[in-house]
Every structure is written in structure tokens, then in C-alpha cells.
Amino acid sequence: THFDTLIKHGLIITAADRYHADIGIKDGRIVALGQGLEGADEVIDADGLWVMPGGIDAHCHLDQPLGDGAVMADDFHTGTRSAACGGTTTVIPFAAQQKGQSLRAAVEDYHQRSEGLALIDYAFHMIVTDPTERVLKEELPALIEEGYSSFKIYLTYDDLKLNDRQVLEVLALARREGGMVMVHAENADCIAYLTELLESQGKTAPVYHGEAHSAIAEREATHRAISLAELIDVPLLIVHVSGPEAIEQIRWAQGRGLRVYGETCPQYLMLTAADLDKEGFEGAKCVCSPPPRDKKAQEAVWQALESGVFQVFSSDHAPFRYEDAQGKKLHGEQADFHHIPNGIPGLETRLSILFSEGVLKQRIDATRFVALTATNPAKIYGLYPRKGTIAIGSDADLTLWDSKARVTIRNDELNHAVDYTPYEGIELGGKPVLTLCRGTVVSRDGKPTAPTGHGLFLKCDKPQPAKPRGTAKGF
């Protein structure tokens, strides 16, 4: 065979193996793995580099309108451009249903928002906020069948949250149809109560966001979501877990044999509540929910990554500008913490942070890095083995890493449309030097090289990890 592209002499790392081999690519797919492959239009020398599956960022928000009128800074162009430059080749953002809107209309809206804009491949999770009879009986079953096989539900935020009865209905639907349910687990009433109490005491600075979003409120909602899923006998994935309280609930469930999965994000490794308390209004740059906690929580999150309590490492990129072009603070100089949009950028820095602080500092090995950032999300969301591994027949989605490079994070050099990164000035080891999506080089040395629109929409299969254990009677 004559290849389109050959990647020679790299150290290939998958979720299972590490070995030296050449990779032959034809028509966007991996068609050969072996020693001494020859004959290609383009040869890439990966001598001294690590070749890993392109990252899958299974939790990010792009061009998602918010209830209070806040606008996201990144659309499908700038968001996927930024992701590509950070070594990611697939993103799974959300198609969010608004209350009163049909789920089908929400999905169509996000197709319009993304059409022709993405540099890398993308699928959609749905966000179900209004589980009407029509949604449960017609729309969700059809959409799961059509390739939207995962969806997120919320236990907090007034415009998004479901009550326990609605959660049960939605979980039962997921069980019947084979969908994967993700849950944002925070107790809404606890947060509302604490927010009002803090405000009545004049405590409105960003640091109080962390107090209002107590770890106890996260723990309670995590436990409740697990219990509801056990009652229905359906798998469940707890997203953006921030610390030991929620981790203990997930570990407890896993220890009892429940199919409960966990996801965490870079902010819970790199930030603490002290970052919410920075000079002036700077703490607003680290407001996300759940909030970053303390050093002990960071250690617990690392331990859960090491020990396998977490299967997925995502960015939860939720991009809001800090200032407008004229330097005006978009959320006021002194906005109450609860008016600051929740979420921070992270698509481009996700992999580098885990590579540097996890792999190079020997907290996790390189195969687990691949599992957490590519292989597991592909399996859990029905994209495997097309995505998430290096194997014959898989898409040629690859990232070449220079493990010896040292890089200081500077927002000026990032490719998103947000005007800050919470990680400004942090020095990291290792960097993705070349990223290919279906055989096309989409980024080189942190700069985008793919044409706009290179990215394709992906339909997700019903994931095997979403299968129930078969313990519930009578469903």
C-alpha cells in the first residue's frame, strides 16, 4: 500500500500499551501499524515524540445561550480551534433544551450554530430541562436512536433543574432506551439558602461563591442522584466532581457494584478557594460550579484519578469574557457573586495540565492519561473504536507530544476567544506539537492549521457502559 501519511519512529501510547512503531494513514484512517513502513505522500518524523490518541473533550460548552442573557465567548469555530491547538480532536459540547422548547428544536438549533464552523470532529450531548410527556415518549427515544445517546440533567440552577420525580422519569427512559445520563449534582435549595444568608450579611465578593456552593450540597446531591439511579437500575455519570465529599459517595457506589462513573476537570487540580479571593474582582475569573475547594480536596481528586474512581477528565470549558473590548468589566466591578456567570475556559489547557502535573510528575502513568482523556470518554459516549484509540481501522486522530518541552501558559498565546485564562503564568512540562484529525494536521506548535469546517458531526452509538445491571424488578 501507498499511504497518504506515515508517522515514523514515534512512541505509541494507548490506554493499554506503549511501543515503538510507524503509523500508516490512508483516507483519514489508520491502516497500518508496524516497523519500517515505507511509501507515503507525506512522512512525519516522530522520533523522540510520544504519539497518543487525539484528546476527546467530553464536557464543554460552546455558543450556549444562558438564561440571564450572558453570551459565551466561544462559538464552534473559536472553541474547536482552541481545542485542536491543545491536542484535542473531538469535542462533545451540549445542545441545551430551554424550558418550553422541544428537545428536537434544541438539537436542530445547535446544528445550525455549528454547521461548517468546527475544525475538529464533534458530537452532542443534550441537556434535558423540560421532560414533558412528548420529550419522554417521543423525542428522547428517537434522538437517542439517531446518535444523540447521552444527556445531562441538573439538580440545581432555576432554569435547568429537575425535581426528583422528573429525575426518576428521565432515568427510567435512559434505562429503556440505552442512553448515558450525566448529572450536575449540587443541592439547589442549600445553595439558594446560603446565597441569601451571605448576601444578607453583605458577603457578596466572588470568594463567597465558594461558600454558597458548599461541598455538603455537592455531596448530598451526588448521593441522591446515585440513589435514584440505583432505584431505577441505570448507570449514571457524575460530572465535574470537586473534592472528597462527592468522591466518597461515588467510591461507595462503585464498591457496591453500581455502574456509577465519575468525571473531574483541571480546575479541581489547579485552583483552590483562595483563587476566588484574589485582589480586586480577579476572583471572578475562577467562578465555576462546583467551585474549586482546598489543597486537601486537590489531593483527593488526584487520588481518585490514580485509583480509578474517575473514568473521564474533561475541561467543562464554559467561556465568558471578563472585559469587553473597551475594558469595561462585563459583570460589573463588584457584581454579587451569584450574578457572575458560572464557568471558566479550559479546552486548550486541559491535556497539557494533566500531562505535566499527572504524567510527568508521576501521579498517573501515560496509559491512564490516554484512558482518562480519550479512550474512556469514547467508550462511555459511544464513539469507540472509531475514536479514542490507535488501532487499525480507527480514525487517524493523533497528537504528537514533546515530553521535554517547557511552556508557560499565556492567554495571549491561546486560541480561544476568552480574554483570560485562570492558569496565566503557570509553567508546564510537555506540549502537543502536532495534532491530526482524520489524518489532516489541524494544529502545529499551538497554532491552528486546519480549514474551518474540517470537523464532522459524529453520531454516537448507544454506549455499552450505559447498560443496566439487570437488578431492578418490574421495569
Residue owning grid cell 462527592: 246
Contacted entry of Zn ion, ligand URP, none for residue 81, CB cut-off 5 to 8 Å set by kind: none
Give 469's contacts (C-beta < 8 A, 6+ positions apart): 233, 257, 258, 259
Size of the site for Zn ion (CB under 5 A): 3
- Kindly tell me which residue out of 77, 125, 161, 184 binds ligand URP, with binding defined by CB under 6 A: 184
CB of 331 to ligand URP, least distance (A): 14
| By CB under 5 A, residue 454 contacts Zn ion | no
Contacted entry of Zn ion, ligand URP, none for residue 288, CB cut-off 5 to 8 Å set by kind: ligand URP
CB of 299 to Zn ion, least distance (A): 23
Q: In the structure grid, which three cell numbers stand for residue 389, read together? A: 484509540
Buried b (16+ CB within 10 A) or exposed e, 119-132: bbbbbbbbbbbbbe
Nearest-CA neighbor of 23 among 38, 11, 39, 8? 8
Per the CB < 8 A criterion, the answer to whether 243 and 293 are in contact is yes
- Whether cis (ω within 30° of 0) applies to the bond prior to 266 is no
Per the CB < 8 A criterion, the answer to whether 211 and 194 are in contact is yes
Task: State the binding string over 320-359 for Zn ion (x if CB under 5 A, else -).
Answer: ----------------x-----------------------
Task: State the binding string over 197-236 for ligand URP (x if CB under 6 A, else -).
Answer: ----------------------------------------
Q: Which is nearer to Zn ion, 184 or 438 (CB)?
A: 184
DSSP string, 369-434: HHIIIIIHHHHHTT-TTTSSS--TTSB--EEEEEEEEEEE--GGG--SS-S--TTTT-EEEEEEEE
3 state SS of 146: helix
Angle at 318 between CA 287 and CA 209, to 5 degrees: 15
Q: In the structure grid, which three cell numbers stand for residue 347, read together? A: 479546552
Give 140's contacts (C-beta < 8 A, 6+ positions apart): 103, 126, 128, 131, 151, 173, 177, 179
Contacted entry of Zn ion, ligand URP, none for residue 31, CB cut-off 5 to 8 Å set by kind: none
Options 22-30, 84-92, 177-185, 348-356: segment touching Zn ion (CB under 5 A): 177-185
| By CB under 6 A, residue 263 contacts ligand URP | no
Per the CB < 8 A criterion, the answer to whether 228 and 164 are in contact is yes
Residue 228's H or E segment, with its range, is helix 215-232
Residues 296-325 close enough to bind ligand URP by CB under 6 A: 316, 318
Q: Is 36 exposed, middle or buried (0-12, 13-18, 19+ CB in 10 A)?
A: exposed
**Structure letter (DSSP) for residue 23:** E
| By CB under 6 A, residue 289 contacts ligand URP | yes
Residues 423-462 close enough to bind ligand URP by CB under 6 A: none
Contacted entry of Zn ion, ligand URP, none for residue 342, CB cut-off 5 to 8 Å set by kind: ligand URP
| By CB under 5 A, residue 282 contacts Zn ion | no
Q: Which is nearer to ligand URP, 318 or 414 (CB)?
A: 318
| By CB under 5 A, residue 184 contacts Zn ion | yes
CB of 343 to ligand URP, least distance (A): 3
| By CB under 5 A, residue 192 contacts Zn ion | no
Contacted entry of ligand URP, Zn ion, none for residue 336, CB cut-off 5 to 8 Å set by kind: Zn ion
CB of 112 to Zn ion, least distance (A): 21
CB of 114 to Zn ion, least distance (A): 17
| By CB under 5 A, residue 316 contacts Zn ion | yes
| By CB under 6 A, residue 187 contacts ligand URP | no
Nearest-CA neighbor of 60 among 173, 182, 225? 182
Taken in order 244, 245, 248, 249, the sign of the CA dihedral is negative
CB of 109 to Zn ion, least distance (A): 18
| By CB under 5 A, residue 419 contacts Zn ion | no
CB of 470 to Zn ion, least distance (A): 30
Q: Which residues bind ligand URP (CB under 6 A)?
A: 61, 184, 240, 288-289, 316, 318, 342-343
